Amino acid sequence: MRLCLDTSAYSAFKRGHPEVVEALRQGREIVLNPVVLGELLAGFRAGDRFGQNQAELEAFLGSPRVRVAALDEDSALRYAEIVVHLRQQGTPIPTNDIWIAATAMQYGLQILTTDQHFARVPQVIARVLEVGTG
């Protein structure tokens, strides 16, 4: 299984959510979009465990199964396709999530997420996991 990891899924993984942990364990390739890295780092900086969180992320990124995808012209074309479709359907989603979907579409990846709105993007396959807060 080749996965595009959403910010929400990474957070659930760090909280030890069993389904997310298992999905990542089974993932043959785990891809992060640079937007996800930005969201994670912004969250780390806003919290009180920046150093620890960043070190854990660096260790995660050091796995041979994990890579960060580049955003390029092909990404932009897919982003535009998704935006137009969502506007026509009247079902917008957050801009950052469109970039994540564009990456999944570009590289043929399944999005691993806890965000239901990825299901509105027919150009990608999203595995939406239910995670409780406690």
Q: What is the pLDDT of residues 67-98, one digit of tens each?
A: 999 999 999 999 999 999 999 999 999 999 99
Instruction: Give me the number of domains the chain comprises.
Output: 1
CA distance to 19, 43, 53, 57, per residue, from 47 (Å): 25, 6, 9, 15
pLDDT score, position 130: 85
Q: Is residue 52 part of a domain?
A: yes
Q: What CA–CA distance (Å, rounded) separates 127 from 7?
A: 13
CATH number, domain of 11, equals 3.40.50.1010
- How does residue 131 score in pLDDT terms, banded at 50, 70 and 90? confident
Of the chain, the end-to-end C-alpha distance in Å amounts to 28
Q: What does the block give as tokens for 84?
A: 């137009």
Q: What is the pLDDT of residues 17-43, one digit of tens each?
A: 999 999 999 999 999 999 999 999 999
Domain carrying residue 73? 2-128
Q: Is residue 123 part of a domain?
A: yes
Q: What CA–CA distance (Å, rounded) separates 70 from 76?
A: 11
Q: What CA–CA distance (Å, rounded) separates 111 from 121?
A: 11
The model carries a pTM of 0.92
